[in-house]
Amino acid sequence: MADLQESAQLNELYRLYGIAAHNCSNIEYRIVYLLLGPKWKQTANLNSEIVVEIYDKLQRLPLGVLLKEYKQHFIFSDKQRELMDSVLEKRNYLMHRFFGAYGKKMHDPRVQEQMISELKDLTSIFQSVSRSLDPETWKQA
């Protein structure tokens, strides 16, 4: 298979992939911060070393495990749980299967355009979820 030739469209595709991945990372980051309080509350003899240890452990967890923890400490509607499951599925697709799903067809500019459209949709979803997890936005509601 020949290498993909650099083009403005391909550069846009990779740029959007990076933005989508960045927003997935923001979701994980915000869930970690939301879990700190419950984790600290469960810990006896909390000190600065243990605080850092808890934070470091949470930072190493993948999104699926973070969501399980999140669901254990907070109450959610069925719709909210479905959204979390959907976000996890979309995140895993983006990280593990997105490029493989298109494979050799990526040489076709029409396929690249389809990929760009899909990345825009994923980015919109991830940004919306990330914002909803930001306590700063709760103050405005």
- pLDDT category, 83, cuts 50, 70, 90? very high
The CA radius of gyration of the chain, in Å to the nearest whole number, is: 18
Highest-scoring range by mean pLDDT, 5-14, 116-125, 129-138: 116-125
Higher confidence at residue 135 or residue 49? 49
**pTM score:** 0.87
The confidence score (pLDDT) of residue 96 equals: 96
Determine phi and psi for 2, rounding to 5 degrees: -70, 150
Cα–Cα distance list, 82 to 21, 63, 86, 103 (Å): 21, 15, 6, 30
For residue 141, is pLDDT > 80? Answer: no
- Given a contact cutoff of 8 angstroms between Cβ atoms, the answer to whether 17 and 122 are in contact is no
Please state, rounded to an integer, the average pLDDT across all residues of the chain: 92
Residue matched to tokens 């990076």:
18
The confidence score (pLDDT) of residue 124 equals: 97
The confidence score (pLDDT) of residue 140 equals: 59
- Residues 24-73: pLDDT tens digits? 999 999 999 999 999 999 999 999 999 999 999 999 999 999 999 999 99
Measure the CA–CA gap between 68 and 84, rounded to whole angstroms: 10
Determine phi and psi for 137, rounding to 5 degrees: -75, -20
